[in-house]
Amino acid sequence: MPAPTVPAPAAFAQRSRPIGVFDSGVGGLTVLHELLVSLPGEDFLYLGDSARLPYGNRPPHELRAFSVQCADELLARDAKLLVVACNSATATAHEHLQRHVAATGRQVDVIGVVGPESNLAVAATRSGRIGLLATPATVASGAYERAVHGADPLTRLTSVACPHLAEIIEEDAPVTQRVVETVRGYCGPLVEAQVDTVILGCTHYPLVRPMLQRILGPGVRLITSGAAMARRVEHALGVRALANPRPGEGDYGFLCTGDAQRFRARGTRFLQLPIGEVGHVELDQRVAA
């Protein structure tokens, strides 16, 4: 019997590199939470661009520039894979970011949330009527329409822009009746369209999932980016032979462009796991039109 093949030291080094994850703030920590649960042996490095949040009302050229800056920061720290844990950035800048990374000569996959979420929603719907709650930038991009109809052209997607919902959740203010009525207004077109599946097209929205479920009804399935991304990342690691071979738990670290203490205080609620030291990074604030 031939001796088992032992991976070269270089292969071990490549597989032990961290997975880079970025978002406009702490919302993407809901995606990181699912990744930590589904891929416990991997190391992760999360970058929150909290100095420039929210991304949801930004013009496309800014989102493309911000995404490139965040990706370059994570690549400089040896990320083996990039996860764009921001729906607005994915919807507007994903293809641009893929081209940018390829131009650097690095063989690093860039995985965004739109495709995996859309595929999961199409697989889940029984009636073919799907709803989308997302930021104005995400809805305006048309990315979810293209992804959903690309997976099944017979589905009907009802998209609703929610210009203030991410900010309400980010602030962690008390849930008042006014907040409930704001959310009810966003859900109204989806109830009227009789959707049976709703994509939560912003990483902040899972934090108000119970409220959304109550308003939309118990028969409506809510699709979150975290669960969809965990499957997609696991697949990418397997195809590229990049899964970390360690038997125990990996490490996870944090960077942000804004106030590190504020990020840490708010982030614990989103991650549902301890957040240790948060490093501060400066990204170029000058973005050409």
The DSSP code sequence of 52-84 is: G---TT--HHHHHHHHHHHHHHHHHTT-SEEEE
CA torsion sign, 7 to 20 to 114 to 131? positive
User: Is the confidence at residue 108, as pLDDT, over 80?
Assistant: yes
At 287, the pLDDT band (50, 70, 90 cuts) reads low
pLDDT of residue 102: 96
User: Is the confidence at residue 13, as pLDDT, over 90?
Assistant: no
Mean predicted lDDT score pLDDT of the chain? 92
Please choose, from the candidates 115, 58, 61, 65, the residue with its C-alpha nearest in 3D space to the C-alpha of residue 88.
Answer: 58
Tokens of 124: 């889940």
Domains of the chain from N-terminus onward: 9-112+227-280 (3.40.50.1860), 114-225 (3.40.50.1860)
pLDDT of residue 167: 83
Tell me the pTM.
Answer: 0.89
- CA–CA separation, 56 and 105 (whole Å): 30
Strands 81-84 and 44-48 turn out to be unpaired
> Which residues, at least 6 apart from 280, have a Cβ–Cβ distance to it below 8 Å?
255, 256, 257, 260
C-alpha dist (Å) from residue 157 to 111, 141, 172, 235: 23, 14, 30, 27
187 carries an active-site annotation: no
202 carries an active-site annotation: yes
pLDDT of residue 196: 98
User: Is the confidence at residue 45, as pLDDT, over 70?
Assistant: yes
Strand runs labelled E in 35-194: 44-48, 81-84, 110-112, 129-134, 156-161
Query: Which is the catalytic residue, given 86, 162, 187, 256?
Result: 86
- CA–CA separation, 94 and 11 (whole Å): 28
pLDDT of residue 11: 65
- CA–CA separation, 32 and 268 (whole Å): 12
Map tokens 């329409």 to a residue. 145
Strands 110-112 and 81-84 turn out to be parallel
Determine phi and psi for 123, rounding to 5 degrees.
-70, -30
| Measured distance between the N- and C-terminal CA atoms of the chain, rounded to whole angstroms | 63
DSSP 28: T
Q: 232 or 169: whose pLDDT is higher?
A: 232
Query: Which is the catalytic residue, given 70, 162, 187, 202?
Result: 202
Do the Cβ atoms of 236 and 109 come closer than 8 Å? yes
